[in-house]
Chains A and B, each alone.
Chain A
Amino acid sequence: MLGRTANDLFWMARYMERAENMARLLEVGHRLSLLPHEDGGQEWRSTLQSAGCEASYIASHDTFETREVVDYLLFDKSNPSSVYCCLSTARRNGRAQRTAITREMWESLNGAWIEFSRSASENVASDALPALFDRIRDRSALFRGALLNTILRNDTFYFTQLGTFLERADNTARILDVKYYVLLPQNELVGGGLDSAQWAAMLRSVSAHRSFRWVYRDAFKPWHIADFLILNPQMPRSLHSCYAEIMQALSGLSQSYGLETSCQALAGTMLSRLKMLDMPGIFQAGLHEFLRDFISDNSRLAYEIAAAYHFND
């Protein structure tokens, strides 16, 4: 496979995943902004941080008005992480590799783009936003489904998996890190109490507010959220799950190419750390520090994958 092809497949999957994550973040932000007693501006600021777009937003905006933030994250063509740009880039990558992907994948990519590119800020009323967020998630699910159902389990598959799960891991880690202090056990001890709106929002942004209750039943504590999103292997957006998928894809690659690279070692170290650690240990060493290191290791892995498989030679 051409290095360029691998690069395009990786980023195609990564941008589709990012579009979906963006829709979730927006959905939650939008919901919080509707609640009384919340500082809407501060919430949007957190959303922008989770999306990794805070600095670029501030450079071009003065306030954190709901509609301005929503437009920036949905439609802004100058924001490479806006849903508009994510879908456009994903489609462009897929189109460049039209012969490497299946017809179903192409049609789902193309369909998502055509549908979304027809909606523009001025013709989406505020009360139509939740429905739009839903459709973005549906489109992403359709793409994942087409991919999983039709693609050959060879390097094409592995590179798309890597793109998906590196992006997802990054996203989950950022969501946790932006509000990590809400999850600290001592927060409860010092009387901060359980800020239900805050942690519910966090769970919603990874589509886990219902499954969380099922897993932890009645005895949950806020720090269980961190456990759920970091260490729980059943939770499909947890860091642990993401790294189990990443490891599988990397093993698939090393088997089919007959070659181990430094990526397998790095991902292996990260996965075994996630398996070995427990929450008290993480809290003791510092949740924020743990997440910061994780985000940086995660992007280092992406970089090493690109180098090891000659994405941009």
Chain B
Amino acid sequence: MAFDEMHGRGRSRRCRTPYRAMATWLDGQTSEQLTTRRQQAEALFHRTGITFAVYGTEEAEERLIPFDIIPRVLSAAEWRRLAAGIEQRVRALNAFMYDIYHRQEILRAGRVPADIVIQNAAFLPEMLNVDPPRGIYSHIIGVDLVRTAENEFFVLEDNTRTPSGVSYMLENRETMMHMAPDLFSRNRVAPVEQYPEELRATLESVAPAGLDRDPVIVVLTPGEHNSAYFEHSFLADRMGVELVEAHDLVSTETGVMMKTTQGLRQVDVVYRRIDDSFLDPLAFRPDSVIGVPGLFEHYRAGRVTIVNAPGSGIADDKSIYTYVPEIIEFYTGRPSILKNVLTWRCRRPDDLAYVLEHLPELVVKEVHGSGGYGMLIGPTSSRAQIEAFRAKVVADPARYIAQPTLELSTCPTVTDEGVAPRHVDLRPFVLLGDRMRLAPGGLTRVALKKGSLVVNSSQGGGTKDTWVLED
């Protein structure tokens, strides 16, 4: 039986402290009332969604990832511990990136095998000897966590390139406050609405040194056809900065300029939501039409800051992931506060043998996959599915890693059969600039299908508001 966020584990089913007020509230709701509230929430999403969703009704469905109205709650003490672990991790990963793009002490020391960095597609030789402001590569990070017991949190993935989903965190809170103001009056919930301000402050703090004016910030989007365009325009709007596409920017000898109604205006910080390889056709893929020629050259020279830095994907590569505990120890001198999930690398013969022997118990993932595709969850798969996957692993072992199946914690969720436990994960959002800023909570994703461990929205996952209670 999985650990339940509300009731803990075991038969007693006593309500855990952070959920007390919530439990009372839930007890007072009939299932009809909960269903009504769920419908209200959807209606609200349609409305606020329309405020920002650039799409007409025929396309609005895209935005409507199911929202569950029962929040996920973390106590102040739980959050403090998570925050300390996340902070340690984010600082260490940034130190790691600074190192591998400069002297590579960690490779020289043999703590991480050189070839998994040097031969890695996410490692950008172009970034060698670049000195980003404050030495930061990944300013905006989403750390994916899962919980298996009262004090057991594991990191599944560090999203260090362009984590998305923060707009859901903000809209979920907005919707929840509209829907159930009474719940907020019974709990002291740490606010998250300051996030856009904090994002802006973070971006300003990494502007090129020596500016004699307020930094000019832009959000660079590939355009309205990108699936995350809603979030790009949402964040630009909430920060009060321009949302630009590549052809709104031009490099001159001065720097990267934005084409405004009053002529060219120099841009200081580019929060880019496009991939490294498309950033600048002069430095990366020459066929990119969504990039800005010369952007990288000005970045190298310190005339503009790119956030997150090109090449920051190396820190969330699945082959690097297994070394993060060593990375943390190397740069902080302390053991990792948050645990990694035990991982077998099928490229190693010993690991492969173990994995093939234990397929029915394991989760097997593609090294370069995402979104919950190309993945086997042993315990919930049929024998035929397992055998089909075995053939794939045998054919190309280096493409796969395997992990034990974690019993993700559950959280009460409104379902068609009434309130029932469903598995959840957690993505806190971290900002790193002049200081670290951590939005209390983050985005809780929930697998709406009974028993399912897959929380990805592309595969039937929904989201919940996430609360951190204040002491």
Contacts and interface: CB of A to CB of B under 8 A. Distances in A.
Given A99-B233, A99-B236, A114-B57, A2 B259 contact: yes
A114 B58 CA distance: 9
Interface string B232-259: 0100110000111101101000000011
Contacts of B242: 1-2, 5
A114 B56 contact: yes
A288 interface: no
Contacts of A185: none
B261 A113 contact: no
A310 B237 contact: no
Contact of B243 (A99, A114, A257): A99
B252 to A, nearest CB: 12
Given A95-B224, A96-B224, A1 B243 contact: no
B52 interface: yes
A3 B51 CA distance: 24
A96 B243 CA distance: 10
Given A4-B248, A107-B50, A110-B56, A155 B261 contact: yes
Contacts of B248: 2-4
A194 B219 CA distance: 62
B185 interface: no
Contacts of B56: 91, 110, 113-114
Contact of B52 (A6, A98, A155): A98
Interface string B259-276: 111110000000000000
Interface string A112-133: 0110000000000000000000
Interface in A1-34: 1-6
Contacts of B243: 99
Contact of A95 (B51, B54, B245, B258): B54
B262 A313 contact: no
A10 to B, nearest CB: 10
Contact of A1 (B54, B250, B260): B260
Contact of B261 (A3, A98, A103): A3
Contacts of B262: 257, 259, 309-310
Nearest to A95: B54
A109 to B, nearest CB: 9
Given A99-B233, A99-B237, A2 B224 contact: no
A235 B339 CA distance: 75
A257 B265 CA distance: 13
B258 to A, nearest CB: 7
- Name the residue in A96, A113, A114, A155 with the highest tally of chain B Cβ atoms < 10 Å from its Cβ: A96
Nearest to B233: A99
Contacts of B52: 98
Contacts of B259: 2-4, 310, 313
A257 B261 contact: yes
Contacts of B261: 1-3, 5-6, 155, 159, 257, 309-311
Contacts of A107: 50
Contacts of B57: 110, 114
Nearest to B244: A2
Nearest to A96: B224
A257 B248 CA distance: 20
A250 to B, nearest CB: 12
A2 B258 contact: yes
Contacts of A110: 56-57
Contacts of A4: 245, 247-248, 259
Nearest to B56: A110
Contacts of B247: 4
Interface string B56-89: 1110000000000000000000000000000000
User: Which of A4, A96, A106 has the most chain B CB atoms closer than 10 A to its own CB?
Assistant: A4
A21 B242 CA distance: 33
B260 A310 contact: yes
A3 B248 CA distance: 8
B53 to A, nearest CB: 8
Contacts of A259: 262
A5 B243 CA distance: 10
A259 B260 CA distance: 14
Nearest to A312: B259
A2 B233 CA distance: 14
A278 B237 CA distance: 49
Given A3-B261, A5-B261, A155-B261, 20 more contacts: A1-B242, A2-B248, A2-B258, A2-B259, A2-B261, A3-B248, A3-B260, A4-B248, A95-B54, A95-B55, A98-B52, A99-B237, A113-B56, A257-B261, A257-B262, A259-B262, A309-B261, A309-B262, A310-B260, A313-B259
Interface of A: 1-6, 91, 95-96, 98-99, 103, 106-107, 110, 113-114, 155, 159, 257, 259, 309-311, 313
17 contacts: A2-B242, A2-B261, A4-B247, A5-B242, A5-B261, A91-B56, A95-B54, A103-B50, A103-B51, A107-B50, A114-B58, A257-B261, A257-B262, A309-B261, A309-B262, A310-B261, A313-B250
Q: Nearest 8 A-B pairs (CB), nearest first?
A: A309-B261, A99-B237, A98-B54, A3-B259, A313-B259, A6-B261, A1-B261, A110-B56
